[in-house]
Chains A and B, each alone.
Chain A
Amino acid sequence: MADQNDPLPTREPLPPELEPLHRRLLDDGALWRARLPSAERLEDRLNLLTQQERRARLAAPARKLPGRFRLIHRMKGKQDMLRGRLKTALAVATIAAVVVLFVVLFHGFTAGRGTQTGQPHTTTSTASSSPAGRSGQFTSYAGLSNLKGLPEIAPGNPQVVYLLTTDSSGQLKLARTENEGKSWQDFALPAGKASDQFPPTFFVSPLDAHTVFLTVGGTRSGSTCVVSHTLGSDSTLSGGGNICALQYVSKDGGAHWSQVQFPASGIVGDTMILDEAIGQVNENNVLRPQGNRLYAAFGPYSQYNQLEGEAGARLVVSNDGGSTWQFIDNGLTGAGYICDIAPVPAGSTVFAITSDITCSAGGGESLTLWRSDNAGAHWSQVGPLPGNTDQGMVAVSVGNGGQPLLYINAPTRQGGGYLASTRPRTGNGALVDSPADLQVSIDGGKTWKSAPTQGFPDANANPGLPLGVLNDGSVVFAFITQQSGRPATAFYAWKSGDTSWRKLTPGFLAVPQSVLVTSTGAGNQTLWIVTATSATTYSIQSFQL
């Protein structure tokens, strides 16, 4: 069947110098697609699937197979997949019994050993006795498993977990638990629907576990951002060139909401906009705390009347918990792209990074470090940074007037994304980053020293974003690798002065959706890891350090 969206649109708001390449890619893409097989066979497969489903419904009440069975089923092979569905449906009871028996036995085995086995979902299948689980192993929580929505753990109190999900009628709601998912309290949203082109997203304040920010996408109409409302009948938000967004804040855990006030049209950064710089993909990073202040990147509307990311990012601060915000980038906006901000946790010193070209793509640009000792009111240039791509900066207090430690993951790239030729290559020939690209400064950014490669599992690995800071000043990173053919994550830490990286956890056989590092007053430190358990469900696990 013909696709109703053909032909491919060719209009893009591109600079003139890019148009020839744009046309060349359009041509090459069209030629490439012309040689693809038609979708007829795929349609045949769809018909077969639906016919079998009808037959199965006639033979027995339809049942939706749990994800685990789908995986087992897939292993039978592609050709048998469709035929096997009927057989699998008939064998559900048998397989379920086997799987349950396996889980019970395996759980007993791992519990008996008291060590992590590399299968985090089997280490503890019931809620743990302590908030962060047992030390030395990954802990699962029955009430925080297979959540139908991406959860966010409150950075200031990991007992508080939020979830954006739909109720039985399809209405989007914010759910909150404070007892490991044993019970949830639901709250209506001030705006936004699950059916919006960009459904609402949210993040939690690091200062207060009951302060939640909601971002709702909409369509710009003149100077107004029109968002969908839960009780409204509209749903004309089709996105395209006039996408915009509004933000709301609740300071009572979701019960009441008010619109956030900004000095201009736009929103503070989450994954909606500032995907390349501040905040990036970990929404725990959207707001950067300092005492009672919150710093954030702010995404204004671009010349195309769209929310713009890195190219237009500005810096804002809030002194009232996030209700109102003010610009603090006077003196920075003319310095190029604003790439990053790292407040020292105590006091009023904050660092920022600007770039003359881009922040993270590489290509010969230079990064400049800036410092403010009055919460962004005035900035002074510290100097150039050692690399030319910003992949995350964090400032650590050292106390008693000492200069803060600054960590930055700043690989040196050349040729627009290529790393310097002295860098090692992976098996497929790609030049990669290395832990040595992580730099530390003990003098406020004036001089820098590379982190060692010793102790890191793969000297070629990119440590990625700093995930958090431990009590001893170590910075936590995650490293993605393969373990027995499956993606695995290893968590490592390093602090200035150490000659080697420190492995924090056993291998974690999944790639996290997000990671949070928390510390209690008693000194307990915990990694909180959110993973996807299916295309639409997520689970939370913890690891007490």
Chain B
Amino acid sequence: MFIRQSIQPVSQTSEREQFAALAPQHLSTMLRAAAALVGVADAEDAAQEALMRAWQGWSELRDLAALRAWLLRITVNVCRDWQRGRFGTGKRLMEPLDDGHAADLIATLGSDPGASDHTAALDLRQAVNSLEVDYRIIIVLRYYAGMDASEVGAALGIPPATVRTRLRRALALLRERLSPSENQPSSSQWEGS
């Protein structure tokens, strides 16, 4: 959900000061998204670049309620550019992204630390890496960047319903590739829906 309720009303402060006050609330999510998309090593730089773009385009944001989605979208766009050597442009028509780019997009998942069962995690992450890019990016943003469907949709410019459709499809593909190991129970408690 978007954090409309957390946005402070516009005060006497300048636009720039407003940016400085509001942007920090979203840095963690921006950093996580960047780490999932370009890797931990480049995440801070990519997130900073996204901040720079947001800073420069701040006057174009008309509704503070859309701030979080706006920042995440910029972050995703920056990360895509980042993978193209930083000077690429948007890629709407030609998605899915070319395979070289797609593999790089989250290849860092496999080598990043963070799994208690490293081998199992690598299997899982390799399976994620083998997905088509449209599915990979949904999985990465949803589970590794920790964004919900609305945020993923806002970041990618697609509605949450489409995110959920792709998520279901991506999970089905992952399950097929991991079978039968994907049925191993998890340590966490599923809340269910």
A residues lining the B interface (CB < 8 Å) = 1-6, 8-15, 17-39, 41-43, 45-47, 49-50, 53-54, 64-65, 70-71, 74, 78, 81, 166, 170, 193-195, 197-198, 217, 235, 238-241, 243, 271-273, 275-276, 281-282, 302, 304, 306-311, 358, 361, 363, 415-418, 426-430, 432, 464-465, 478, 480-482, 485-487, 489, 510-515, 531-533, 535-536
Pick from A1, A47, A71 the residue with the most CB of B within 10 Å: A1
| Additional pairs, 13, CB under 8 Å, beyond known A71-B87, A532-B90 | A19-B192, A24-B124, A26-B188, A28-B144, A35-B112, A42-B30, A273-B162, A311-B165, A363-B172, A415-B177, A480-B94, A513-B90, A532-B89
A194's closest neighbor in chain B, by CB?
Answer: B62
B128's closest neighbor in chain A, by CB?
Answer: A25
Q: A49-B55, A430-B99, A513-B93 are in contact. Are A23 and B173 (CB under 8 A)?
A: no
Query: Are A32 and B115 neighbours in the complex by a CB distance under 8 Å?
Result: yes
B36's closest neighbor in chain A, by CB?
Answer: A32
Complex alpha-carbon distance, A45 and B132, angstroms: 35
Pick from A53, A428, A487, A515 the residue with the most CB of B within 10 Å: A487
Q: Which of A198, A311, A465, A531 contacts B89 (CB 8 A)?
A: A531
Query: Are B48 and A510 neighbours in the complex by a CB distance under 8 Å?
Result: no
A247 to chain B, nearest CB (A): 14
Main secondary structure of the interface of B (DSSP, over half): helix
- Can you list 24 A-B contacts with CB-CB less than 8 angstroms, sorted by A residue number? A3-B29, A5-B68, A10-B190, A20-B183, A20-B186, A29-B142, A33-B32, A36-B31, A74-B86, A194-B62, A197-B154, A217-B159, A243-B159, A243-B161, A275-B158, A276-B165, A306-B159, A363-B172, A426-B103, A430-B102, A480-B94, A532-B90, A535-B53, A535-B77
Main secondary structure of the interface of A (DSSP, over half): loop
Query: Are B66 and A197 neighbours in the complex by a CB distance under 8 Å?
Result: yes
Query: Are B27 and A46 neighbours in the complex by a CB distance under 8 Å?
Result: yes
Query: Are A240 and B160 neighbours in the complex by a CB distance under 8 Å?
Result: yes
Query: Are A3 and B191 neighbours in the complex by a CB distance under 8 Å?
Result: no
A14's closest neighbor in chain B, by CB?
Answer: B168
A271 to chain B, nearest CB (A): 7
Complex alpha-carbon distance, A43 and B48, angstroms: 9
B49's closest neighbor in chain A, by CB?
Answer: A74
Is B8 on the interface with A (CB-CB < 8 A)? no
B residues lining the A interface (CB < 8 Å) = 1-4, 6, 16-17, 19-20, 23-32, 35, 40, 43-45, 47-49, 51-53, 55-57, 60, 62-63, 65-66, 68-69, 74, 77, 84-95, 98-100, 102-104, 109, 112-116, 121, 124-125, 130-132, 135, 139, 142-151, 153-154, 157-162, 164-169, 171-178, 182-188, 190-193
Q: A12-B149, A36-B40, A46-B27 are in contact. Are A4 and B6 (CB under 8 A)?
A: yes
B76 to chain A, nearest CB (A): 11
B78 to chain A, nearest CB (A): 8
Query: Are A28 and B62 neighbours in the complex by a CB distance under 8 Å?
Result: no
A426's closest neighbor in chain B, by CB?
Answer: B99
Q: A511-B88, A511-B91 are in contact. Are A21 and B168 (CB under 8 A)?
A: no
On chain B, the residues within 8 Å of A197 by CB distance are: 2, 66, 69, 150, 154
